[in-house]
Amino acid sequence: MHVMTPIRVALLGYGLAGSVFHAPFIAAADGLELAAVTTRNPKRKRSAEESYPGVLVLDGPDDVFERAADFDLVVVATPNRFHVPNTLAALEAGLPVVVDKPVTPTAAEARRLIDAARDRGLMLTVFQNRRWDGDFLTLSKLVREGALGRVHRFESRIDRWRPQLTGAWREQADEAGGLLLDLGTHLVDQALQLFGPAELVHAEIDARREGAEVEDDVFLALQHESGERSHLWMSLVAAQPGPRFRVLGERSAFVKHGEDPQEAALRAGRTPGDPGWGEEPPESWGLLGADDAQPIPTEPGNYVAFYDGVARSLRESGPPPVDPSDAVRVLELLEAARLA
Q: What does 94-134 look like in DSSP terms, one character per residue?
A: T--EEEESSSSSSHHHHHHHHHHHHHHT--EEEE-GGGG-H
Give domain status of residue 328, yes or no.
no
Query: Within 13 Å and on the Cβ side, how many CA atoms surround 258?
Result: 17
Q: Are residues 78 and 176 in the same domain?
A: no
Instruction: Please count the helices (runs of H) and the strands (runs of E) in the chain.
Output: 12, 14
pLDDT at residue number 54: 95
Same domain for 163 and 125: no
| pLDDT of 2 above 60 | no
Please work out, in degrees rounded to the nearest 5, the angle formed at the alpha carbon of residue 69 by the alpha carbons of 68 and 74: 45
Q: Answer whether residue 262 shows pLDDT above 90.
A: yes
Task: Answer yes or no: do 246 and 309 share one domain.
Answer: no
In a domain, 12, yes or no: yes
What is the chain's mean pLDDT, rounded? 96
Q: Does 319 sit behind a cis peptide bond, omega within 30 degrees of 0 on the bond before it?
A: no
Among 117, 111, 138, CA closest to 194? 138
Among 18-27, 172-181, 199-208, 305-314, the minimum mean pLDDT is found in: 172-181
Does the structure show a pLDDT above 80 at 189? yes
Q: Per-residue pLDDT tens for 41-64?
A: 999 999 999 999 999 999 999 999
Q: What is the largest CA-CA distance in the chain?
A: 63
Kind of pairing between the strands at 7-12 and 73-76:
parallel
Domain limits for position 37 = 7-129+305-322
Establish if 1 belongs to a structural domain: no
CATH number at 35 reads: 3.40.50.720
Sign of the Cα pseudo-torsion (269, 275, 279, 284, in order)? negative
Region 16-22: mean pLDDT is 93
> pLDDT tier at 273 (50, 70, 90 boundaries)?
confident
Kindly report, residue by residue over 203-229, the tens digit of the pLDDT: 999 999 999 999 999 999 999 999 999
Could you tell me the sign of the dihedral formed by the alpha carbons of 283, 264, 188, 302, in that order? Answer: negative
Instruction: Give the Cα separation of 26 and 72 in Å (integer).
Output: 13
Domain count within the chain: 2
Phi, then psi, of 315 in degrees rounded to 5: -70, -40
Could you tell me if 55 and 100 lie in one domain? Answer: yes
Packing angle of the helix pair 324-339, 185-195 (nearest 10 deg):
120
Task: Name the β-bridge partners of 253.
Answer: 248, 289
pLDDT computed for residue 169 by the predictor: 87
Whether residue 115 sits in one domain with residue 57: yes
Q: Do residues 13 and 51 share a domain?
A: yes
- 168 and 41: one domain? no
Dihedral angle of Cα 158, 160, 166, 171, to the nearest 10 degrees: 30
Element (H, E) at 217: strand 217-224
pLDDT at 3: 53
194 in the same domain as 120 = no
C-alpha count within 13 angstroms, C-beta hemisphere, residue 219: 8
How many Å apart are CA 305 and CA 12, to the nearest integer?
Answer: 21
